[in-house]
Amino acid sequence: MATTIGGEPLLPARDAILTVVVSALVTHLIFNRWETKAIPAVITLLVLVPVSLSILLVPHYGVVQGAALSLATYLLSLLSSILIYRLSPFHPLARYPGPLLCKCSKLWMVWIIRGGKQHIYIQKIHEKYGDAVRVGERVWDLGIDQYTYRDGLGPNEISIRDPSAILPMMGAQGIPKGPGKNAYHLNVGIYLMPCNPGWVGRSFHHPIPALIAFRDSAEHARRRKPWNRAFNTTAIKEYQPIISKRVTQLVDRLAEQKGTVDLAKWISFFTYDFMGDMVYGGGTEMLRDGDKDGLWKALKDGLDIAQVYEHVPWLSYYTRHIPNASTELKQFRAMALNRTIERYKNGAMTKDLFYYLSNEDNAEKESPQPAVVISDGILALVAGSDTTAAVLSNTFWCLIRQPDAYKRLQAEVDQYYPRGEDSLDPKHHVKMVYLDAVLYLPQGNQARIHFWSLHRDPRNFSHPNSFYPDRWLIAEGLQASSEEITHNPKAFIPFSFGPANCVGKNLALQEMRVLICHVVQKLSMRFPEGWNPQEWEEELEDRFVVKMGRLPVIIERRD
């Protein structure tokens, strides 16, 4: 291609550079409008265009310097255009406060999550900026409509710490999760777009999303039908032998241990084995053999990288094509595939979760594709094991740290399950009010409504950072108090809220109640000398679910 006309440059140097700058601004508009992630288009816009424009600069600066100057000018202009717009009063979210770096790029949150303390960071910026905080930007900044979500590249994001946002955002008539320009204006003056493109990134843009990621409310309701059947009252009663078997095994294994025991590890093994029974009809024996196949480690390590993809979903669109990238997540999905194939081959031994997810109960006219069952199985295995393990581990940490609460719970267990009484039978749970009070646990969640901050807001709860089971008994009129406490139950949503809430809530509660009753009846626990209980809380990490460190305890049989 000619770079001169009659020996003269096509354009003066100043005009040539200006052309490169204008081209970069046009590229910003293109990304602004379409936010394409197709590799050929991205390479063309970010590499081929500035290289082609270098022909205007070559006559002035030479081939090498001209190409370098064109590329640098182009990319710098594009980046400057994006940043200026994001910080300008013309940005759709300009009126919402937040840290400067959060306004610039979601990459800042990727930096924050390195240490797993995102929940603490967001809580602090809520305390500084208020109930609506701007915490992120799309990669290319789709400034035309911040409520439009295209292909999982990520939305502008506001974090909410206001209970009045829960119903209009997450209720039955709340905001759809799907693409489009749906938004509601709440009484706190916040426009919300609750779609979660992070799930697209976490799943490597898999064509079949997990139930929790569904955007369309009607499709979500359809996919949730087998889950609802699997967790109704009748089905949960059928799961009681599975719970009893695994709880008994856990207590027996704990009682066998000598010296200091990592209670969090053993509880994690229990929840993983139990959900393995529930999802695949067995096949996992971590309580017996430990993590010999490395699956639990793969799951925990995978949480770290998955959280990066949650904040920058476009990244996994490219890294999924790299063979050795994110091996932990790929290993876990391969395990799910193999277990699903084996479960299909063996058929139903019991009415477990897989029985309903695969339509073995013949409730639906057509059975789902195996890929759908795999997706739902992975969700159940992770959501049912990791979250329950975190709640149980935190509960025992709180109880052992506060001996008075431990003794009070032990007295209630001994009242309803005296020595010789079957503590695996849930028949007395409905009467055990302190047991339910103990299971109060504020959880950290990465969500548009930031649950961690909501649950720890003193405007909603007195002593928000303390383990205070009595609050629930006082609020229900079951216990007198000399102190007038603040208690807003509408602000407490540990199982989420609305039609997309935790479908396994009742199973999780029964599992935890049975385990706590049986453990407290059979065992006594204490922290080892010299260990600072504060270390447990300091080591907790927000990886969408809670990632735990060690919980060292010394265990003795009560009998």
Here the tokens at position 100 are 């400067």
Q: CB under 8 Å to 360, separation ≥6 — which residues?
A: 347, 348, 354
pLDDT tens digit string along 148-200?
Answer: 333 333 346 788 888 887 777 777 665 544 433 333 333 333 333 334 567 77
Ramachandran class of 6: left when φ > 0, alpha when ψ lies in -120 to 50, beta otherwise: left
Specify the pLDDT at position 3.
58
User: What's the rounded Cα separation, in Å, for the pair 122 and 112?
Assistant: 10
Q: Which amino acid is at 509?
A: L
What's the distance, CA 492 to chain centroid?
A: 18
Here the tokens at position 457 are 């807001």
> Residue 448: which pLDDT band, with cuts at 50, 70 and 90?
low
Distances, alpha carbon 396 to alpha carbons 95, 118, 384, 392, in Å: 44, 24, 18, 6
Closest CA to 499 of 232, 193, 173: 173
Specify the pLDDT at position 36.
76
So where are the chain's domains?
A: 4-87, 220-401+526-557
User: What's the rounded Cα separation, in Å, for the pair 319 and 334?
Assistant: 17
Pairing of strands 545-547, 541-543: antiparallel
pLDDT tens digit string along 515-526?
Answer: 999 999 999 999
On the 0-12 / 13-18 / 19+ scale of CB atoms within 10 A, 299 is: buried
Q: Tell me the whole-structure pTM to 2 decimals.
A: 0.80
pLDDT tens digit string along 45-57?
Answer: 999 999 999 999 9
Does residue 119 have a pLDDT over 60? yes
> Residue 316: which pLDDT band, with cuts at 50, 70 and 90?
confident
Report the Cα–Cα distance between both ends of the chain, in Å, rounded: 90
Domain 220-401+526-557 has CATH 3.90.1150.10: no
Tell me the torsion sign for CA atoms 426, 428, 434, 436: positive
Mean pLDDT across 469-493: 85
Specify the pLDDT at position 196.
55
104 is in an annotated binding site: no
Q: CB under 8 Å to 40, separation ≥6 — which residues?
A: none
- Of the given ranges (11-15, 161-165, 243-247), which has the lowest mean pLDDT? 161-165
Q: CB under 8 Å to 427, separation ≥6 — which residues?
A: none
User: What's the rounded Cα separation, in Å, for the pair 247 and 257?
Assistant: 16
Here the tokens at position 222 are 């359809």
At 242 the three-state DSSP class reads helix
Here the tokens at position 469 are 């089971």
Greatest mean pLDDT among 12-21, 102-111, 308-317 lies in: 12-21
Q: DSSP state, 48?
A: I
User: What's the rounded Cα separation, in Å, for the pair 87 and 104?
Assistant: 7
